[in-house]
Amino acid sequence: MLVIATAAVTAISCGTKNENKEEATEKEAPKVLVLYYSQTSNTKAVATEIATKLNADIEEIVAVNPYDGDFQATIDRCIVEREQGTVTEIKPLATDIASYDVIFIGYPVWFGTYAPPIATFLANTDLSGKKIVPFCTFGSGGLESSVKDMAEKQPKAEILNGYGVRAARLDAMPKEIDNFLKASGFLEGEFVKLDDFPEQHNVSEEETAIFNAAVDGYPMLHAEAKTVASRNLPNGVEYLFTAVDIPREDNPKMPPAGELKVYVKVENGVAPVFTNVVR
């Protein structure tokens, strides 16, 4: 009877320890918020995908005076606001930012950085000690420059690797988000880890044709490829081109001439497409 009683006490003790361990694990799990601003619903689609996969809370940042015009109207308004130093007002958030450990912050890229409502949020919110994961949508690029700006605005936050996708490639986003979240440790499961790009070499005629096909038809990218490096994908090849802008006197709105990096994917059976431009 003494042996049975001792075993029972041990079992109860072990059970209590396991329960306490599970409770501690649950308490230690980081609390995640997906916070985003979206004008055309592209960034909203990415935010919803992340929140769904992580079962995270989600909230939209809303401008008091919405940017509800077309592309050119939005550009014109932003130019005026920048010249006048106008600060975009946003509505108060319902969530308590202080209660979250990890905050995914999403936005469209305008003028090479995050949209004005995000700038207002960053200027008025202390994210010290938080882990911040930027994500964005763009026409050609802007993840790298916007993340740099975010780090300058929030020097006491830990800015983690971010995710960006061209609006023209939104169909590829769910699969890329799944891989990104797994590679970043937010989801369990296997993910694709790519090799680093090797040293670049002068472009061949075939590689030049791939570059030209990828950027053809995009009005804000008029450049000539100079050098390139490539790496294998599970279903194709990815190229990293170094290119130089070709000045266009007929279009003064084009970016100033300079060197840029252009990422191009050529998946099996699919035409070349550029995925990101870094200026």
Give the C-alpha separation, 76 to 92, whole Å: 26
Please classify residue 150 by burial: count the beta carbons closer than 10 Å to its beta carbon, then call 0-12 exposed, 13-18 middle and 19+ buried.
buried
Which pLDDT score is estimated for 238?
A: 98
Give the C-alpha separation, 100 to 257, whole Å: 43
- For the CA atoms of 231, 172, 106, 43, the dihedral, rounded to the nearest 10 degrees, stands at 150
Which pLDDT score is estimated for 10?
A: 47
Which pLDDT score is estimated for 69?
A: 79
pLDDT along the chain (279 residues), means of 10: 44 50 61 97 98 98 93 92 94 97 98 96 98 97 97 98 98 98 97 97 98 94 96 97 85 71 97 97
DSSP conformational letter for 63: B
Please classify residue 161 by burial: count the beta carbons closer than 10 Å to its beta carbon, then call 0-12 exposed, 13-18 middle and 19+ buried.
exposed
Collapsing DSSP to helix, strand or coil, 217 comes out as: coil
Which pLDDT score is estimated for 3?
A: 42
Distance of CA 83 to the CA centre of its chain: 28
Please classify residue 71 by burial: count the beta carbons closer than 10 Å to its beta carbon, then call 0-12 exposed, 13-18 middle and 19+ buried.
exposed
